[in-house]
Structures are given as C-alpha cells and as structure tokens.
Amino acid sequence: MEGKDVRLFVKRLDLIHPLASGNKFYKLKYNLETAQQSGHDTVLTFGGAFSNHIFATAAAAKAEGLKSIGIIRGENTSQLNATLQQAQANGMVLSFMDRKTYRTKHEAQHIDQLREQFGRFFLIPEGGTNALAIKGTTEILTSEDQHMDYLCCSIGTGGTIAGMINAAKPHQKVLGFSSLKGNFIHQELLDLLETHHIGFQNKYELFTNYHFGGYAKHKPELITFIKKFKKETGIPLDPVYTGKLFYGVVDKIKSGYFPSGSSILLIHSGGLQGISGFNQRFNETLETK
Ligand SMILES: *Cc1c(COP(=O)(O)O)cnc(C)c1O
C-alpha cells in the first residue's frame, strides 16, 4: 500500500465452497458431523431473513444428506427474498417466528414446542456459535499463516475470532472488527473465550468503530469503498461484514497502526450471497463475484 511499508494478504474463504462458503463452512463442519454421529437426520437453526448462516446451513446440510429447518425472524412475506429462496431450494423447511418470541427463542419452553412441532432435531444456535463451531474456526488458520504478524477478521457473534485466537501463535495478534454497534462485544468475547478455555493474554484487540451505523446498516462511504476495492483488486466484499473489516484495516494502515514491515492477513469470511438482496433493497449495484 502506497507510502506504508506493510504487506496485505487475503485468505479467500469466500471461494472454498459455492454455497456453504466462508467462515460458516468451518462453523458448521463439526456441528453437522456430530448431528450425524448422534443419529440425527435433521438440524434446526435460527436466523434473520438475509442470514448467511441460514443460507449456509441449508446448503451444507443438503450436502451431508441431512434435512434442515430454518426458524426465520419476523413474519412470512408473500415473496421470499433471494437468501430464503435459495435456502428453500436446498431443501430447508422455513418457519417464521414473530419478533417477540424470537427474542427468547433459545429458552427451553420454545425449544420444547419446536420439538413437538418438528420432531427430533439437532439444534444449532443462531449465528451457529458453540463449542463445535469454535473447534471448526480454529482450523481457519493453518501452518501457512505462521509468518503473518496480524490476523484480521470480522465479528458477529465472535465464534470466528474465538477460533482464530485459539489458533494464533504467541508472536501473532488477532484483530477483530465488529460489524455491530456497541461495546458489548468486549464482554461477550471474554465470556466466550473463558467458557471454551481459550488462552488470550495479549493475543487480540477489538475495534468497535467500523460498524457504519450498526448491524446490516451502511453509509455511502462504505459502499464507495467496496466498489473501489473490487475495481482495484477484483475481490468482492459484502456490506455487512467483510466490507467493514477491509475498510477498517485500510483505515488502520493509513493511520499508522501497523509497524513498518508488518504482514497482515485479512480473512475474507464470505457473505457474498447477501449482496443480491442488499442490491434489491437499496437499489445498489454491488458485484457478487
Ligand atoms: C457470520 C459471518 C461473520 C461473523 O462470524 P461470527 O463467528 O458470528 O463472529 C463474519 N463474516 C461473514 C461473512 C459472516 O457471514
């Protein structure tokens, strides 16, 4: 990058699988394996109408020969959006849950009711973060990445960064860029790391000022950045996660955060499936590949 003596690398998890792409592939891997090993033929999970997690669960479950049920936040609309259409095409049974119930969806009474309604299923939480997911995201970094000084990723629930912190070497620092507004993620990640016994002393730093208004919100400068980045590098970014991450890292480079000579790895965690829905809603023209 001009004027700054750093090297930037991108790990393209968006390219590992046409449907179950990005970090979701890693988060689902051991969940689906465990579902099968424990004799389940169905997985059930939760998500919003544009959710990458819903999209990926449908695709990955199908590939593994499992049935899937998606509990979608909000009311059913007459026309399903592209995300839900594709999930349904991959065999996912969609069921809509009103927003009030959805807030307490993980409580036992609601789960019991879902079991009554749908029969036996393997439950994957909203966003997919649990111990099995973190086991999977620990595999995102490989021995090839050991010469990197900084490992940068986007944060939603924190399952991805938790695995990366677990895998990072002592000389490496993991930088997390939250796509959600607020500072709650500091405590949430600490809880996650402690629950899963992941050592984290001096291993990571979080940035919470690149949310562009909050989760799934955006500002013109983010969209301009994504388009410019695509033009210059050929790499498509999504406006919910990776666009904010890459913007943040470039901003940090400009402001001199990284010492001269640093090697910086950015994790492209996928999310490109959401772009067509985004374009439709906001009359935008972001590229999907
Ligand atoms: C889900 C998702 C994330 C966030 O992952 P968490 O493990 O929830 O923090 C980041 N990037 C993309 C593209 C995603 O779909």
Out of 3.40.50.1100, 3.40.50.720, 3.30.930.10, 3.20.20.190, the CATH code matching 7-17+138-282 is 3.40.50.1100
280, β-bridge pairs: none
Give the model's pLDDT for residue 75. 86
Q: How far apart are CA 71 and CA 196, in angstroms?
A: 26
Q: Can you point out the beta strands (E) in 91-214? A: 93-97, 122-123, 150-155, 173-178, 204-207
Pocket test for ligand 1, best of 166, 175, 241 (most atoms within 8 A of CB): 241
Give the model's pLDDT for residue 163. 98
Token pair 């944060």 in the structure block, residue: 155
Q: How far apart are CA 245 and CA 268, in angstroms?
A: 9
Give the model's pLDDT for residue 1. 53
Q: Kindly report the pTM of this predicted structure.
A: 0.94
Give the DSSP H or E segment for 109: helix 108-118
Tell me what the mean pLDDT of segment 30-41 comes to.
98
Q: pLDDT, tens digit, for every residue of 103-159? A: 999 899 999 999 999 999 999 999 889 999 999 999 999 999 999 999 999 999 999
% of the chain with per-residue pLDDT over 70 = 99
CB proximity list for 12: less than 8 A, separation 6 or greater: 235, 268
Q: How far apart are CA 124 and CA 138, in angstroms?
A: 18
Q: How far apart are CA 233 and CA 58, in angstroms?
A: 31
Out of 3.90.550.10, 3.40.50.1100, 3.30.70.360, 3.90.950.10, the CATH code matching 23-128 is 3.40.50.1100
% of the chain with per-residue pLDDT over 90 = 90
Q: pLDDT, tens digit, for every residue of 156-169? A: 999 999 999 999 99
Three-state DSSP string of 203-254 = CEEEECCCCCCCCCCCCHHHHHHHHHHHHHHCCCCCCCCHHHHHHHHHHHHH
Going from the Cα of 128 to the center of ligand 1, the distance in angstroms, rounded, reads 9
255 as an active site residue: the answer is no
Q: Does the C-beta of 31 come closer than 6 Å to ligand 1?
A: no
Question: What are the residue boundaries of the structural domains of the chain, listed by start?
Answer: 7-17+138-282, 23-128
Going from the Cα of 119 to the center of ligand 1, the distance in angstroms, rounded, reads 29
Q: pLDDT, tens digit, for every residue of 40-52? A: 999 999 999 999 9
Q: Does the C-beta of 154 come closer than 6 Å to ligand 1?
A: yes
Candidates 125, 147, 129, 149; CA nearest to 138 is: 129
153, β-bridge pairs: 176
Give the DSSP H or E segment for 68: strand 67-73
Q: Does the C-beta of 177 come closer than 6 Å to ligand 1?
A: no
- Cβ-contact 256, 143 below 8 angstroms: no
Which entry of 21, 51, 68, 179 is annotated as an active-site residue? 51
Tell the residue nearest (CA) to atom 3 of ligand 1: 156
